[in-house]
Amino acid sequence: MDKNILSIFNARKVVGLYVSQDTVDLVVLKSGLGGPKLIKFGQAYIYPKESQHSGEIVPEAQAGSMSMTQDVLSEKVKTKEEYIVEAIKKVFRENNVKPGDVVTAIPSEETMVRYFQMPKIPKQERATAVNFEAKRYIPFRMEDVVSDFQVLPSKVVPNSMDVVFVAVKKNTIEQYLKVLVAAGLRPVIIEPAPFSLMRAFNAAQQIDTKVNTAIVDINLDTLNVNILRNGVPYIIRDIPLSGIAPEDKSFEPVFEKILAEIKLSFDFYEKQFPSEVIDKIIIYSKLPLENWHEIVGKELQIPVEAGDPLRGIKVKSGIVPARAAVCFGLALRGVTEPFIDINLCKEQLLVYKKKELFLRMVFLEASIAVFLLIVFKVFTIKAIAPLANELNKTLSERPKAEVNIKSDNITDLEKIKNEMETKRDILENLISSRTYLTPRLQDAVKILPKNMWLSEVNFEEKIDKKNTSKITRFFNIKGYYVIDEKISDKDVVNVFLSKLKETSGINKGMPRADIVSVKRIEMKGMKVSSFEISFTGP
């Protein structure tokens, strides 16, 4: 299991929350030296009452005998979203967990997960290229979905990359966020539920990226088959089921259908990769499996293992947490590596961060203002102390005189603030527009003609005091060259100047170039010409 070594010294708690078909699951994990540790877990039914006879979960407004009173019938029937909000509040309240940041997931049947390969693309261009390619696989307009992707280096095809792309309809995400916010929560990560299962079993060391693994998740009315190739989800299928009830002791009513759908998924995978086979199956369900997974292993002639998310988590002896593998996988995302790093609420998280940054800035500015006021007050008190003594003496001699002095004046503070802001603007402009002399000199030396040498180089930047965004630059070059009677002195300097202009690193920010002077002189008995060239800008 991958761990962040910093978590050994900086233990943190992470809250995982998952709204399943019939329950709201809550798991709180804490990172530490011995690995993730279970702090709290809880489970609440979405609907408050269960049928006494069949075990079927029904809304409270529909529960009870057929002879409901007129008062009950007249009650407002709650929506499913209202029941979910109440169940979320209940599970937090009963387990004494303060509502706040949570890591949560969207059910598999609500998400579209696609795998495809692309040629290697630079990071700065990936978002545009991947979203364009994903249009081939998503049956909706990209404007109508919320999406995210992860790029993994391909282990099979050179110079290519594996892309895991996830999309969810916008109205689905918005409705889910609305429910969570109504319950007082702040979702910082939303991912597809199959990825949470993968993380839970990976932390339990049940997944080996070198082995082709199939994860089979069986719920009350849905079968999810997730096939991993080199640790990447290649196929994720959601198959509707019927015939399973919460009180069932086995899967016999739908055994044949489940087995057939698993075989169909495996056949499709092996057709895509004829040289590969499924090496291992992990089966998980909230309902009791008994020995059903053993039967599947015999039927398919593939090793089958029951999913055990608690294998990678420290749990106190005697405590038996609810079967909530997805929720455990969600809480693990905050204390282990993400496995597949997908977040469908990045925009919402950005809003949270901006709000936090704004509040911090407000607090910081308020603290600075208070500090400056205190400093100003101290200096003011020291400055008026002699006058105060003289005033007290005068008042003591003339008790009838009444003088009211108010010394809380912030004009000086405003002046200081304006001066500091001006200096800051000048400094920021200078830093953002700074240039370096060394690269210019290196470029100049590279194009220096034979029998020519430089004697003096000056470079200067000046900021306009009236307009701090305007910076004037001066680059002056002086030198000598041995006279060649076959070529005019000015022609030699003009050729050198032309080469300087063509070198963008030299005249950057200084478009104007001039020959200041060209003079013939005698130096140690040799006829040479001195020259001076200047660049100015902007």
Nearest to 212 by CA among 257, 273, 153, 151: 273
Residue owning tokens 């005033």? 391
- The per-residue pLDDT for range 212-256, each reduced to its tens digit, is 999 999 887 888 999 998 888 888 999 888 755 555 545 566 778
Q: How far apart are CA 479 and CA 533, in angstroms?
A: 9
Between 72 and 226, the higher pLDDT residue = 226
* Cα distance between residue 342 and residue 346, in whole Å: 9
Tell me how far apart the alpha carbons of residues 467 and 520 are, in angstroms, rounded to a whole number. Answer: 42
Predicted local distance difference test score (pLDDT) of residue 192? 93
Spatial distance between the Cα atoms of 66 and 259, rounded to a whole number of angstroms: 40
Calpha distance 274→147 (Å, rounded): 31
What is the percentage of the chain residues whose pLDDT exceeds 70? Answer: 79
Give the β-pairing of 57-58 and 160-169. Answer: unpaired
Looking at residue 501, its pLDDT comes to 82
Residues facing residue 226 across a β-bridge: 215, 236
Q: Which residue has the higher pLDDT, 422 or 132?
A: 132
Q: Do residues 113 and 133 touch, judged by C-beta distance below 8 A?
A: no
pLDDT in tens, 274-289: 888 999 999 998 777 6
With cut-offs at 50, 70 and 90, classify the pLDDT of residue 1.
Answer: very low
Residues with Cβ < 8 Å from 310, sequence gap 6 or more? 204, 321, 328
| Topology, domain 437-537 | STM4215-like (3.30.2000)
Q: What is the mean pLDDT of residues 460-474?
A: 76
pLDDT at residue 430, as a whole number? 63
Average pLDDT over residues 104-117: 91
Task: Name the residue with tokens 């489970």.
Answer: 43
Query: Higher-confidence residue: 466 or 50?
Result: 466
- Distance CA(405)–CA(252), nearest Å, equals 92
Is the Cβ–Cβ distance between 19 and 185 less than 8 Å? no
Is the alpha carbon torsion for 309, 314, 317, 318 positive or negative?
negative
Q: How far is the C-alpha of 263 from the C-alpha of 257, rounded, in Å?
A: 10
The type of residue at 107 is: P
Burial 281-318 (b: 16+ CB within 10 A, else e): bbbbbbbebeebbeebbeebebebbebebbebbeeeee
Q: Which residues are registered as beta bridge partners of 115?
A: 164
- CA separation for the pair 336, 203 (Å, rounded): 8
Write down the pLDDT at residue 526: 82
Instruction: Scan for tokens 């009350």, then name that residue.
Output: 220
pTM above 0.75, yes or no: no
Mean pLDDT of 440-461: 82
Write the Ramachandran bin of 451: left for phi over 0, alpha for psi from -120 to 50, otherwise beta. left
Where do we find the tokens 């009513």?
A: 253
User: Can you tell me the distance from the alpha carbon of 528 to that of 508, in angstroms, rounded to the nearest whole number?
Assistant: 30
- DSSP, res 309: G
> For the residues 419-438, what does the mean pLDDT come to?
70
pLDDT at 409: 55
Q: Which residues pair with 217 in a beta bridge?
A: 224, 284
Alpha helices in 187-233 (DSSP H): 193-203
Mean pLDDT over the full length of the chain: 79
What's the Cα-to-Cα distance from 134 to each of 31, 71, 112, 140, 154, rounded to whole Å? Answer: 36, 53, 11, 10, 18
- Domain ranges for the chain: 372-432, 437-537
Residue 78 has pLDDT above 60, yes or no: yes
Q: What is the pLDDT of residue 245?
A: 58
Largest CA distance in the chain: 125
Q: What pLDDT, on a 0 to 100 scale, did the predictor assign at position 15?
A: 93
Name which of 243, 225, 198 is nearest 300 in CA terms: 225
Tell me the mean pLDDT in the region 163-181.
93
**Residue range 447-462: mean pLDDT, rounded:** 83
Which tens digits make up the pLDDT trace of 316-334? Answer: 766 667 778 899 999 998 7
In terms of Cα–Cα distance, which of 110, 199, 114 is closest to 149?
114
Output the six-digit token pair for 218.
Answer: 């069986």
Average pLDDT of 35-39? 87
Task: Give the pLDDT mean for 295-309.
Answer: 88
Higher-scoring residue by pLDDT: 2, 441? 441
What pLDDT does residue 462 have?
79
Query: Residue 190 — φ and ψ, nearest 5°?
Result: -130, 125
| φ/ψ (deg, to 5) at 515 | -90, 115
pLDDT at 191 over 90: yes
- Reading the block at residue 392, the tokens are 């007290």
**Tokens matching residue 411:** 């004009």
